[in-house]
A and B are shown apart, each in its own frame.
Chain A
Amino acid sequence: RKEVEQDPGPFNVPEGATVAFNCTYSNSASQSFFWYRQDCRKEPKLLMSVYSSGNEDGRFTAQLNRASQYISLLIRDSKLSDSATYLCVVNDNDSGYSTLTFGKGTMLLVSP
């Protein structure tokens, strides 16, 4: 059974703060990784992919550590609009079939 573990939070931070989420995965052969954002009572939406070399998109930085089997998401200068649940997603290819496993999500609450 593939596992994707996240700290459920909630993380309560003030505006402007920097916050980091971690996610661990159990399958060392997992091939690709993503962070999705889910607002309350809405569908998840892709925030960013996570590349081996690490990648940055504005205030968001994602990193992958294959040796330790974890990925991270760093949010700088938090905005009120960043309040959401962040889902760690791991993609595996088993015998040609691609499957996605979702973590339970980490809730972020940014306050004024």
Chain B
Amino acid sequence: GAVVSQHPSWVICKSGTSVKIECRSLDFQATTMFWYRQFPKQSLMLMATSNEGSKATYEQGVEKDKFLINHASLTLSTLTVTSAHPEDSSFYICSARDFQNRAITGELFFGEGSRLTVL
């Protein structure tokens, strides 16, 4: 079935550094990918919608200069957390829909998630 792969699964970094997270659709083309953030005991919150070949669409309250999104190909989107601080520590998850091959139009396939800890 459709698979979305995310890397790295875990990352620990020092405050002030930047961290890049990759999201790949392995067996389908994803013109649109979604980036979510989940804090402990909270729901998934959509951060931004990543569009292949164009600028990402950010949700209200999400700083586009801090969370840089690049969607350069139909199978890869990256999220870069710039100048990370401890409050950015969270579980970041990407997702995509396989519109061409999936009958369930609302189904999202998620990456495995990336747990970021900023010291």
Contact = CB atoms under 8 A, between A and B. Distances in A.
A34 interface: yes
Interface in A18-44: 32, 34, 41-44
A98 interface: yes
Given A42-B112, A43-B93, A43-B111, A105 B106 contact: no
How many B residues touch the partner, as a band? 10 to 19
A90 to B, nearest CB: 9
Could you say which of B42, B104, B108, B113 has the most chain A C-beta atoms within 10 Å of its C-beta?
Answer: B108
A36 B115 CA distance: 20
B10 to A, nearest CB: 10
B43 A46 contact: no
B100 interface: no
Contacts of A70: none
Contacts of B67: none
Q: Is the interface of B mostly helix, strand, loop or mixed?
A: loop
Contacts, number: 45
Interface in A77-101: 87, 89, 91, 98-100
B43 A102 contact: yes
B112 A43 contact: yes
Interface in B82-105: 91, 93, 104-105
A104 B42 contact: yes
A8 B40 CA distance: 13
14 contacts: A32-B105, A41-B115, A42-B112, A43-B93, A43-B113, A44-B44, A44-B93, A44-B108, A46-B108, A49-B106, A99-B46, A102-B44, A102-B45, A104-B41
